[in-house]
Amino acid sequence: MPKTLAPLFRRLTPADAEAFRAIRLEGLQRYPASFGASYDDEHTQALEWFRARIADHAVFGGYASDGTLAGVAGLLVPPGAKLRHKGMLWGMYVRESARGTGLAQALLDCVLAHARGVVGEIKLEVAPDNFAAIKLYAAAGFVEYAREPRALKIGGTYHDSVFMTLRFE
């Protein structure tokens, strides 16, 4: 039987920086090959740095019924006139306790609903062995358009990336 959760979804504000920092660092530490950023780079950042990320990007959170921030995902819209038609989904992470509850799908839906009013296309990068994420993105309409060998180097090991896109037009 699937787990049930009564989540609340909303766009984070700089006041959420502490909770955002905690979940972001958890994801970076537990799944280093799933993110372009690294725990080593971000765990030393001041809380103000995380506040700025929230303020500069559209970052959404999914909360468990107990009020815990259980998932996050961000949308980056480049500032340049030639680039701002394409947004980038980044930093999507759902805590293990919330997996299998529908929170990931609902969180992605929140980001996509926001993105539809802002950009004409959204792209993302995902690890090729993250089958659950690829399935989630494909079900939302994302299609793979490229694969980059050796996109990340963690320690002495290289990791590929899959690039996916979703056009709203």
Residue 56 tokens read as 């500069």
pLDDT at position 7: 56
pLDDT at position 104: 96
Is this model's pTM higher than 0.85 or not?
yes
The dihedrals phi and psi of 143, each to the nearest 5 degrees, come to -125, 145
CB burial of residue 168 (10 Å; 0-12, 13-18, 19+): middle
The label of the residue with tokens 């921030």 reads 69
pLDDT in tens, 115-148: 998 999 999 999 999 999 999 999 999 999 999 9
pLDDT in tens, 3-56: 544 458 999 999 999 999 999 999 999 999 999 999 999 999 999 999 999 999
pLDDT in tens, 140-169: 999 999 999 999 999 999 999 999 999 997
Task: Say how many residues make up the chain.
Answer: 169
- Residue spans of the domains in the chain: they are 8-167
User: Burial code of 128-156, b = ≥16 C-beta within 10 A, e = fewer?
Assistant: eeeeebbebbeebebeeeeeeeebbeeee
User: Measured between alpha carbons, how far is 66 from 128 in angstroms, rounded to an integer?
Assistant: 33
The label of the residue with tokens 């979703």 reads 166
pLDDT at position 1: 39
Q: What homologous superfamily is domain 8-167 in, according to CATH?
A: Gcn5-related N-acetyltransferase (GNAT) (3.40.630.30)
User: Measured between alpha carbons, how far is 67 from 1 in angstroms, rounded to an integer?
Assistant: 23
